[in-house]
Amino acid sequence: MKKTLLIALGGNALIRKGQAGSVAEQFENLKMPVRQIARLSERYKIIITHGNGPQVGNLLLQQECCDAVPKLPLEILVAQTQGQIGYMIESTLDSTFMELGINGEKYFISLITYVVVDENDPAFKTPLKPIGPVYTEEQAKTVPYPTRKTVKGYRRVVVSPDPVTVVEKREIRRLIDMDFIVICCGGGGIPVIREGRGFHGVDAVIDKDLVSAKLAEEVAADIFIIATDVPGAVLNYGKPGEKILRSATPDQAAGYLKEGHFPPGTMKPKVEAAMRFVRTCGKRAVISSIGDIEKAVEGERGTEIMCKG
Amino acid sequence: MKKTLLIALGGNALIRKGQAGSVAEQFENLKMPVRQIARLSERYKIIITHGNGPQVGNLLLQQECCDAVPKLPLEILVAQTQGQIGYMIESTLDSTFMELGINGEKYFISLITYVVVDENDPAFKTPLKPIGPVYTEEQAKTVPYPTRKTVKGYRRVVVSPDPVTVVEKREIRRLIDMDFIVICCGGGGIPVIREGRGFHGVDAVIDKDLVSAKLAEEVAADIFIIATDVPGAVLNYGKPGEKILRSATPDQAAGYLKEGHFPPGTMKPKVEAAMRFVRTCGKRAVISSIGDIEKAVEGERGTEIMCKG
């Protein structure tokens, strides 16, 4: 019986630092993580999740340039990026399996995924997550939504509530039972709130690592890999005594979090996501570089969070 | 053993004539076809396909307004609309099942789908299919792709090759075997051509009814419904003796096609798609109004194409 591996791909799987992010660049960049995942699929059931920051930012910017077409709410833009990035990952996987000569044996699909959030989540009170284009102070006063000054300039901020449940979890469970490779939860999932006998989308962005942790829990994954642009979580980041954290229990990680070792918005939500998964199920999470996914699975690289550290 | 029903939803499932096509309108419009499909799912295995004309047109127009972000090729825009429309259909289905009180029993997903076309298809020589915004004659001279004068004005034209095969057909077959409702092949599918041990996308648009016919054949569907904005195919359209065609064999339909009864670009590809499906498998296709999907399944409405007319 194969174990289940959930791999959350960071933004650098698609766009590397300093790149404009053309489609050709994104396809090229994907080859490196996807080759590792293709090899891992021989020994593990695989779920792939991914971010969408630059892609949804571009769609927001395009919308603002153009008054000729109806503006779409953020939920729809997230759905669009799930289509775009899901296609790019899936077709790269397809080409990789063809190169490896194991194409006909694999089943794999990209799913549209929406994720329930709680309208009473305190996060709804304070939009904190910056998204989309950068404005001058004057422009920021005229745009029809809250903005905040960031290091880059003024940006739109949206709420970032906690994921409550992945709507398609039952489907995803059945798919991995049949050894389908599933690409899902793009951009943290399309955020929806329950309303009577239905859902409706909300202008929010769910953290993709937190939603990946939730899905890993809901499908009972065995290993949760958070693949990013650094080798792991670092203690004393930017200070004397800086060193990579190789292993910690959830409680130790919580202590480091409280001491402020991990920068909010980058490493903090990753450590939080890894801790949450390990606390619910007692299994293993690893934060590693995108080039080290296979080694992270083997326990040879990255920051491991597990109960017996 | 449930029979398999493939339903191709026309553009009017999402945007009705005279509407600007806000997201609220699209969600509202979807309720009517989706309620019928939800009821039909009690007796049939279901595959839903859909168009993307206005949605991909809006994305093209936005791209042109905005020089600040990298331009995306048409294949990626089609992928984006699959995310957008897949989400809207799936979440409407979700709400509908909740209303009907049968939510927990159903499995349903929206898939990203790409479709192989043949680079030697003669269609690649002559771009004929108009897409996206309308230009003046002067503007048309400056845009970086072929344009053609249409009744609305000058528009970009792209090639529209025949679908050769739906890449995800094996996955879709397994999903319907397990009674999953599958939403797929949006906008005719993302067009790709084989190149060595891989695929690459092409700037083309595949007719959504023709790709639906191909998928219906490849998954051995039993009934193929093409749901559109008119009650069926009409003989002597706009002439004396105009009447709806209730039933025809593929050979009879081919004869009417040859005599020019069906306008190209609207009813012609639908009749062609229905004929192709029935010729490959001997089963039944119906072209009907979007309000008559259930009656079309029962043989009470629409234009039926079947071997014994």
Domain boundary assignment for chain B: 3-114+163-221, 228-309
What confidence score (pLDDT) does residue B287 get?
A: 98
pLDDT by 10s per residue, chain B, length 309:
899 999 999 988 999 988 888 899 999 999 999 999 999 999 999 999 999 998 998 999 898 888 888 889 999 999 999 999 999 999 999 999 999 888 778 999 999 999 999 999 999 999 988 888 788 999 899 888 889 998 888 988 999 999 999 999 999 999 999 999 999 999 999 999 988 777 889 999 999 999 999 999 999 999 999 999 999 999 998 889 999 999 999 999 999 999 999 988 889 999 999 999 999 988 999 999 999 999 999 999 999 999 974
- Number of Cβ within 10 Å of residue B230's Cβ equals 19
Query: pLDDT band at A239, cuts 50/70/90?
Result: confident
State pLDDT tens for residues A212-236.
999 999 999 999 999 999 999 999 9
Question: What ipTM was estimated for this complex?
Answer: 0.95
Q: Is residue B291 flagged as an active site residue?
A: no
* Strand B303-305, strand B247-248: pairing: parallel
State pLDDT tens for residues A56-69.
989 998 988 888 88
Estimate to the nearest angstrom the gap between the alpha carbon of A165 and the chain centroid.
Answer: 15
A199 with B111: Cβ contact below 8 A:
no
A82-91, A138-147, B214-223: least confidently modelled range: A138-147
Q: Which of B12, B53, B57, B302 is catalytic?
A: B12
User: A283 and A213 in contact (C-beta within 8 Å)?
Assistant: no
Amino acid identity, position B202: V
Tokens of A185: 């939860």
Q: Considering all CA atoms of chain B, what is the largest pairwise distance in Å, rounded to the nearest integer?
A: 60
Residues facing B47 on adjacent strands? B6, B182
The residue of A26, A87, A94, A195 whose CB has the most chain B CBs within 10 angstroms, and thus the best one to mutate to test that interface, is: A87
Cα distance between residue A200 and residue A197, in whole Å: 10
Cα distance between residue A201 and residue A178, in whole Å: 30
A21 with B70: Cβ contact below 8 A:
yes
pTM over 0.80: yes
Chain B residues in contact with A201 (beta carbon < 8 A): 91
* Residue A284 three-state SS: strand
User: Residue A155's closest CA among A174, A131, A122, A185?
Assistant: A131
Of A110, A180, A197, the CB nearest to B112: A110
Of B58, B70, B198, the CB nearest to A69: B58
The yes/no answer on whether domain A3-114+163-221 falls in CATH 3.40.50.720 is no
Query: pLDDT band at A152, cuts 50/70/90?
Result: confident
Q: How far is A61 from chain B, CA to nearest CA, in Å?
A: 8
- Complete edge-to-edge strand list for the sheet that includes strand A190-194: A165-166, A114-116, A190-194, A199-201
Instruction: Provide the CB-side half-sphere exposure for A180 (13 A, CA).
Output: 24
User: Residue A50's closest CA among A73, A22, A19, A29?
Assistant: A29
